[in-house]
Amino acid sequence: MVRKHNNQLPENLPQLQNLIKRDSASYHEEFLQQHQHFQNTLELFQLSPDQPNKTLDELVMFMAQVAHCYPKELEKFPQQLIDLMQKHNTVLDNSIRMNLCKALILLRNKNLLAPTDLLELFFQLLRCQDKSLRQFLETHIITDIKNLNLKHKNAKLNTTLQNFMFTMLKDTNARAAKMSVDIMIELYKKNVWNDAKTVNVIATGCFSKVMKVMVASLKFFLGKDENEKDSDNSDSEDEVDPKEVMMANKVNKKTRKRAKELTKVKKLAAKAYKKKSQAVAFNFSAIHLLHDPQGMAEKLFQQIESSNYRFEVKLMTLDVISRLIGLHNLFLFNYYSYIQRFMQPHQREVTRILQFAAQASHELVPPDVIEPLLKTLANNFITERNSSDVMAIGLNAVKEICTRCPLSINEDLLRDLAQYKTYKEKSVMMAARSLIQLFRNLRPELLHKKDRGRPTEATDEIEKLDYGKLQAKDYVPGAEILMSEEKEEMDININSESESDDEQWIDVQHSDKEDADSSEDEEAEEEEEDDDNDVGSEEEKKGEPRKILKAKRTKTDILEDKKALAQKVTIERLLTDEDFKRIDMANVQKQMQSTTKGQKRKLEETTAKHKDELVKLSDIENIYKKKKHDKQTRLEAVKKGQEGREKFGYKDGRLNIHCSKTNREKRKKKNYQMIKHKVQGKVKRSFKDKQIALRNHLLKLKKMK
């Protein structure tokens, strides 16, 4: 006789789990039975921990699911799992280890386990030779720490974990150290741990003996330059005015090309509007948060000199050192002589090495240290035995170095490089002219007189550069324009009032002060005439006004008066955004207005190049010529232009594509040998035959009517 099993709860754990969650008090005895079964199974498992045990997996997950229903009975359950993992973490079966980790995460989500205990255990488990487990643990660690700091920063927990990670970076296990660095970098990118302590802990990874840890730490400090993205895309499309295209599309003839262009312009306008509406995101570089940048740069340079790393690792280290020197204005004179040996046109990644040289230049470096670097650059690159591209890259590198350290080049070298402004190759010519334009705004006295350009108001205000001299101004340059604009507005108001009153004439008389000023000017002119009769007679013969003579002699006084006015405006007024816009326009206009007679032609670049924190590689590789493209690149460009366009050629106008075609249509796809006899049989008719055929056709139509 078969015995019926009515009570299947001891064997059906999912059903028991569901019932316990619904009514935990009613199924307390069944739970105690399973708990005792778990304890017995755990004792047996510890005898052979390297063997898989499916029963233990099911019981562990069952206990983790119902742990919140019986907190007293399962008070020691989390610690049992932690002890088991710590004791047998390297010998456990992969499936059992993964299942135990999931159970612990479930307990952590129910707040039955402290975050520090679980995270420290997971960091220790990173030593296991199980890639899927390490990736699973990394994801959980990042997510858990992010959730812990979601509402507010948990400083105590963060400090404890950061100290633990600092010890993990020095771990003998390479996998654990590499995973710890990756976790800290990911937390920094997610703005969870973006403080100085995290950055300085990662900085210790740059000196790790494990190559992967060192490379990951160096890449963290290099980051990604946002300005270099999408550098190959042309920005000429963004310059199209949407209003002009839309108006032209309304007036002009409707064509598919214009419709396509209008759709494209609308998308660009929407993209630009969306970009303007977004808030500006400021990414504070991790290099700024270092406690001892000078010591780090010296240690990295000592490390690269004493070790034999791969060339790619050396480039990364040199890049980090150059950024440290440039951003913090450090002194590391041996760096320039070390990098000088790689400045050869045939050197691999030579443009990046030139970029490092420019990044490591700043105003506080003595000119004698960088001058040999520039001479080597000129001798190896800027010579006619090299190609035009090499010469242009050399001139661009000199320009970038001199932008950051203008005192490093001497007069002879600069004038020699300026001679390439008339070179036959356009790339070299444009690079030399950009170098000349730079020194017109920095140190025009080093250039030949013919290269300095026509003097403007801006060039008159250039101060002489000296080593270590700070140009700190206590006023806003160009603020004097606000005083003159107010005076002009007052004059306009007076003129408008005089024009509106037709019945009365307003006689504007000079005040006593103006009379005194005019009398003083007349007395000064008489004294000048008495002191210098010869000059006055010569100028009268030439017909030049006396006011020009006076202006030439008092150019310095005019500059001092402008400076005093600007200082007065800066102190007495609160400048608004509109005021600063006017000041910027006035400063740009100074670049255009000549101090001599006549107007200066429009400049391509009115102001000196702004000194960025980092040097763009595209600035050094900037070559003014159209690069040659291979066949594959040209085909890709052609296919890109054909996207969204209708197919050319014969258009099949049949409503039903399965119906037959005419013989004329079939003839187009036939082989020439098949229709050769028909083509040869065709004879071109004369004009007379065409007339006869047309007459017969018209007569036939007339008879049909």
The answer on 337 and 197 residing in a single domain is no
pLDDT tier at 526, thresholds 50, 70, 90: very low
Q: Which residue has the higher pLDDT, 245 or 350?
A: 350
- The whole-number pLDDT of residue 550 equals 44
How far apart CA 678 and CA 663 sit, in angstroms, is 13
Q: What is the pLDDT of residue 353?
A: 94
DSSP designation for 648 = P
Q: First vs last Cα of the chain: how many Å apart?
A: 107
**687 — phi, psi (to 5°)?**
-65, -35
Q: Is residue 184 assigned to a domain?
A: yes
Q: What is the mean pLDDT of residues 408-434?
A: 92
Total tally of structural domains belonging to the chain: 3
SS3 label, residue 628: coil
594, β-bridge pairs: 456
pLDDT > 60? residue 278? no
Across 267-271, 350-354, 633-637, least confident range: 267-271
Asked if the model's pLDDT at residue 411 lies above 50, the reply is yes
Q: Does residue 549 surpass a pLDDT of 80?
A: no
β-sheet bridge partners, residue 456: 594
Q: What is the pLDDT of residue 392?
A: 93
pLDDT of res. 357: 94
Whether residues 257 and 327 fall in one domain: no
Mean per-residue pLDDT, 596-608: 43
The answer to whether residue 279 is domain-embedded is: no
Over residues 159-185, the pLDDT tens digits come to 888 888 888 888 788 888 888 899 999
User: Bigger pLDDT: 657 or 332?
Assistant: 332
Residue 647 in this model has a pLDDT that exceeds 80: no
321 and 408 part of one domain: yes
Domain ends where: 402, 427, 454? Answer: 454
pLDDT at 398: 94
**Radius of gyration (C-alpha) of the chain in whole angstroms:** 41
Residue 201 scores a pLDDT above 80:
yes
Rounded Cα gap, residues 496 and 508, in angstroms: 14
What is the band of 575 on the pLDDT scale with cuts at 50, 70, 90?
A: confident
- For 201, other C-beta atoms within 10 Å of its C-beta total 20
The Cα diameter of the chain in Å comes to 145
User: How much is the pLDDT for 328?
Assistant: 92
Flag whether pLDDT at 562 surpasses 70: yes
Pair 221, 256 in one domain: no
The residue from 454, 473, 489 where one domain ends is 454
At residue 572's C-alpha, the angle toward residues 571 and 578, to 5°, is 95
Residue range 425-451, pLDDT digits in tens: 889 999 999 999 888 888 888 888 888
> Is there a single domain that holds both residue 326 and residue 355?
yes
Give the model's pLDDT for residue 495.
57
- Best mean pLDDT range from 17-21, 318-322, 620-624: 318-322
Is residue 127 within 8 A of residue 175, CB to CB? The reply is yes
User: 138 and 205 share a domain?
Assistant: yes
Residue-wise pLDDT tens digits, 25-40: 888 988 999 999 999 9
Residue 222 has pLDDT above 60, yes or no: yes
pLDDT at 593: 55
Q: Which of 167-176, 343-352, 366-375, 455-464 has the lowest mean pLDDT?
A: 455-464
Six token digits for residue 96: 């059992």
**pLDDT computed for residue 491 by the predictor:** 58
For residue 279, pLDDT beyond 80: no
Q: Look up the domain containing 324 and give its range.
A: 311-454
Which one is predicted more confidently, 519 or 260? Answer: 260
pLDDT at 268 over 80: no
Global pTM? 0.66
So what's the pLDDT on residue 517? 45
Q: Is residue 1 part of a domain?
A: no
Band (1; pLDDT cuts 50, 70, 90): very low
- Selected residue with higher pLDDT from 646 and 548: 646
Task: Please report whether residue 642 resides in a domain.
Answer: no
**Does 262 share its domain with 366?**
no
On average, the pLDDT of the chain sits at 78
Angstrom distances, CA of residue 251 to CA of 88, 180, 241, 436:
81, 64, 16, 47
Q: Quote the CA–CA distance of 531 and 579 in Å, as a whole number.
A: 44
Q: How far apart are CA 96 and CA 393, in angstroms?
A: 60
Evaluate whether 357 touches 375 at the Cβ level (below 8 Å).
Answer: no
Least confident of 266-280, 479-493, 514-528: 514-528
- Give residue 555's pLDDT band: very low, low, confident or very high (50, 70, 90): low
Residue 511 inside a domain? The answer is no
Model pLDDT, residue 610: 47
pLDDT-wise least confident of 6-10, 45-49, 593-597: 593-597
Q: What is the pLDDT of residue 144?
A: 87
Do 220 and 249 have their domain in common?
no
- Of 380-384, 502-506, 635-639, 699-703, the range with the lowest mean pLDDT is 502-506
Burial of 386 (0-12, 13-18, 19+ CB in 10 A): middle
Q: How far is residue 544's CA from residue 550's CA, in Å, rounded to a whole number?
A: 11
Q: What 3-state class would DSSP assign to 463?
A: coil
Distance CA 338, CA 297 (A): 14
| Orientation of helix 94-109 relative to helix 115-125, angle to 10° | 160
558 falls within a domain: no
- Local confidence band at 243 (pLDDT 50, 70, 90 cut-offs): low
Q: How much of the chain, in percent, has pLDDT values that exceed 90?
A: 27
Q: Looking at beta carbons, which pairs linking 173-179 to residues 24 or more positions away fall under 8 Å?
A: 173/126, 173/127, 174/210, 174/212, 174/213, 175/126, 175/127, 175/129, 175/134, 176/123, 176/124, 176/126, 176/127, 177/205, 177/208, 177/210, 177/213, 178/210, 178/212, 178/213, 178/216, 179/126, 179/134, 179/138
- Examine the fold and report which residue of 438, 454, 470 is the final residue of a domain before the chain moves on: 454
The whole-angstrom separation of Cα 277 and Cα 386 is 49
Q: What is the pLDDT of residue 382?
A: 93
Residues in the chain: 705
133: CATH: 1.25.10
With 60 as the cut, is the pLDDT of residue 225 above it?
A: no
- Of 155-169, 198-212, 231-245, 264-278, which has the strongest mean pLDDT? 198-212
Whether 315 and 425 share a structural domain: yes
Same domain for 162 and 262, yes or no, is no
623 is a domain residue: no
Q: Is the pLDDT of residue 224 over 80?
A: no
CA–CA gap between residue 264 and residue 412 (Å, rounded): 52
Residue 629 located in a structural domain: no
Tell me: do 251 and 316 sit in the same domain. Answer: no
For residues 66 and 214, state if they share a domain: yes
